[in-house]
Amino acid sequence: MAGLIFDTNILIDFLRGIELARVLIDTTPDRAISMISWMEVLCGAGPDRDAATRNF
C-alpha cells in the first residue's frame, strides 16, 4: 500500500481505541498527518490527555 495522509477523524478513532483505525494506521508503511490535523487533535485532547496525545 502506498503512503497515506490520515485525517483527524482517523486519528481520533485511533486514540479512542477503535480497532479498525489502529489496524489501518499500523499497516500503512508511509503514514503522515497534516499540521492542521495535529493541532485539531491537540486542541480536542484536553489537559488530562495532553501528554498521551503528544506521545502518539
Q: What is the 3-state secondary structure (H, E, C) of the chain?
A: CCCEEECHHHHHHHHCCCHHHHHHHHCCCCEEECHHHHHHHHHHHCHHHHHHHHHC
Domain count across the chain: 1
Q: Indicate if the pLDDT at residue 1 is higher than 60.
A: no
Q: Indicate if the pLDDT at residue 55 is higher than 90.
A: no
Lowest average pLDDT, out of 20-24, 25-29, 42-46, goes to 42-46
Specify the pLDDT at position 53: 66
Specify the pLDDT at position 39: 86
Range of the domain at 31: 4-55
